[in-house]
Amino acid sequence: MRSVIVIGAGAAGLTAAGYLVRNGFKVTVLEKNAFPGGRCAAFDKDGHRFDIGATLFMMPQVYERTFSELGRSLRGELELQRLDPVYRLYYPDGQRLDFTSDLMKMQTQLEKIEPGSFGPFLKYMERSMRAYRISMKHIIDRNFDHVFQFLNPSSLYRLMRLNAFGDHYRTSGGYFSNENLRAAFTFQNIYVGQNPFHAPAIFSMLPFMELTDGVFFPAGGMNRISEKLEDIAVKNGAEIRYRTEVIRIPVSENRVKGVILSDDSFLQADIVLANADLPYVYRELLPPGRALRRIQRLGYTCSALVFHWGMDTLLPGLEQHNIYVSKNYRENISEVFDGSGIAVEPSFYVHSPARGDRTAAPERQDSISVIVPVGYLRDGREYDWEKVRRDARETVLKRLAWEGLPDLEKHIKFEKVYTPPLWQNLFNLSRGATFGSLNHNLMQMGYFRPHNQHSRYRNLFFAGGSTHPGNGVPLALISARLAQEKIRQQFS
């Protein structure tokens, strides 16, 4: 029986452990924190529950396949509620848009904002559908063993047809002239940590996925996904050790030997699968080398300043997911990604799970999370995070008051704030980049994304948001399946 050590009990680590233990491997999962799930986790306080990171349950077919291959039924394990509208967008000119799968409602709203825009919307959805299907089949849901599997005449033709080499925002301008609508169909890049004005146009697939596959929410919160994956792994024979930190991966020639823990003890393994942040593994756990120098030059996602508020009242008028688009949208986004990292008047997102799941807060109360995009941590740049927190908080409260929610501050019972340094320390996320941590430009996709098997240490594998295929919980689940496929092919 081959032994596998999995570093990290995130969604990808738990999923890989479930696959491997069901296929005859002896699996031990080591997690430095006291809870499963990584950023797909939650915390509770005074009857309020908050999702730490992920809040959108998308691509349900990926979850269904994963649970089925692990011997469970998704619908039998999780109680899922489909959300419609997916979210509500609030614009600084007072307009609102409910992003809904109801085509009649969508038509009414779109025509009101930009007369004649419903027809282009349908064409945009058709384009998004093609981007989604081609991306899943040829880029996302497969392993790449050599570059010509990714770059060949047929794949280049597909990428050209999708205008994948263009940027998403400019492509949306071929369908909508109204800036509010262009923002509505491109801001989704932000919740995978990308700049909508630089992201490849292939990400037009995101709004299609939301409106057709649907966005759901599991009763009990997104952490229920991690808890179920943990249960599957343990009941199939995996061992999970919490509060167990790996500080080094010792190597010998072209193999890793196991791991060294923070108490200096050594655990031997035939195979190591790292679900920890990939740049962190190369920088902190492995000997330095040429691969590390390349990874340090890669592009990173943005980070996020997150406020969790326990409210003593249920806030009126909110949907579960709410997007507040700022004035000078482009300038403020550019400031986050290309400037100081801190926008003066940022766009932000508000999550209120108590709308559809009353277990998220005490009766007639609310659990509110506010996510404000900020830049990742850069060398040589220092921030006064307490001042950043105060300024962002004031901006958010002022905007919410203008949108019809005055005097919120007096209803906040308690507050917990996640800053980029906290993301970095709690989850070992390089540069505090919350979303994965590497971004998805064309040179960091497919074969060109850091591989899920080390090029020198051939018994070291990777799963999670910073390896192939990318970030977000569904892609983390796919990364786990792809990594374990390689392990089984080479070591079974």
Q: Give pLDDT tens digits for 251-288.
A: 998 999 999 999 999 999 999 999 999 999 999 999 99
Whole-angstrom distance, CA of residue 362 vs CA of residue 230: 27
- Report the Cα 255 to chain-centroid distance in Å: 31
- Report the Cα 150 to chain-centroid distance in Å: 24
pLDDT tens across the length of the chain (492 residues): 899 999 999 999 999 999 999 999 999 999 999 999 999 999 999 999 999 999 999 999 999 999 999 999 999 999 999 999 999 999 999 999 999 999 999 999 999 999 999 999 999 999 899 889 988 988 899 999 899 888 888 888 877 777 777 889 999 999 999 999 999 999 999 988 999 999 988 888 999 999 999 999 999 999 999 999 999 999 999 999 999 999 999 999 899 999 999 999 999 999 999 999 999 999 999 999 888 988 989 999 999 999 999 999 999 999 999 999 999 999 999 999 999 999 999 999 999 999 989 999 999 999 999 999 999 999 888 899 999 999 999 999 999 999 999 999 999 999 999 999 999 999 999 999 998 789 988 889 899 999 999 999 999 999 999 999 999 999 999 999 999 999 999 997
Give the other-Cβ count within 10 Å of 151's Cβ: 14
Q: What is the DSSP letter of 438?
A: B
Are residues 218 and 57 in contact, defined by beta-carbon separation less than 8 angstroms?
yes
* The two structure tokens encoding residue 286: 């492995």
Tell me what pLDDT residue 80 has. Answer: 97
Residues 6+ apart with CB under 8 A from 323: 87, 88, 89, 90, 187, 347, 349
Tell me what pLDDT residue 163 has. Answer: 74
Residues 6+ apart with CB under 8 A from 244: 30, 31, 32, 261, 262
Q: Could you give the maximum distance between any two Cα atoms of the chain, in Å?
A: 67
Whether the bond between 346 and the residue before it is cis, its omega within 30 degrees of 0, is: no
Whole-angstrom distance, CA of residue 315 vs CA of residue 405: 8
Whole-angstrom distance, CA of residue 306 vs CA of residue 368: 10
Over the stretch 156-169, which tens digit does the pLDDT of each residue have? 887 777 777 788 99
Whole-angstrom distance, CA of residue 136 vs CA of residue 116: 31
Over the stretch 238-258, which tens digit does the pLDDT of each residue have? 999 999 999 999 999 899 999
Residues 6+ apart with CB under 8 A from 116: none
Q: At what angle do helices 223-235 and 60-69 cross, to 10 degrees?
A: 20
SS (H, E, C) 50-67: EECCCCCECCHHHHHHHH
Are residues 205 and 132 in contact, defined by beta-carbon separation less than 8 angstroms?
yes
Tell me what pLDDT residue 82 has. Answer: 96
- Report the C-alpha dihedral over residues 309, 360, 12, 258, rounded to 10 degrees: 70
Helices and strands in the chain, H and E counts: 16, 21
Give the other-Cβ count within 10 Å of 252's Cβ: 8
Whole-angstrom distance, CA of residue 65 vs CA of residue 197: 33
Whole-angstrom distance, CA of residue 51 vs CA of residue 41: 6
Residues 6+ apart with CB under 8 A from 395: 344, 345, 346
Tell me what pLDDT residue 442 has. Answer: 82
* The two structure tokens encoding residue 105: 């409602």
Whole-angstrom distance, CA of residue 312 vs CA of residue 334: 36
Tell me what pLDDT residue 109 has. Answer: 98
Closest by Cα among 319, 324, 309, 225 to 12: 225
Tell me what pLDDT residue 462 has. Answer: 98
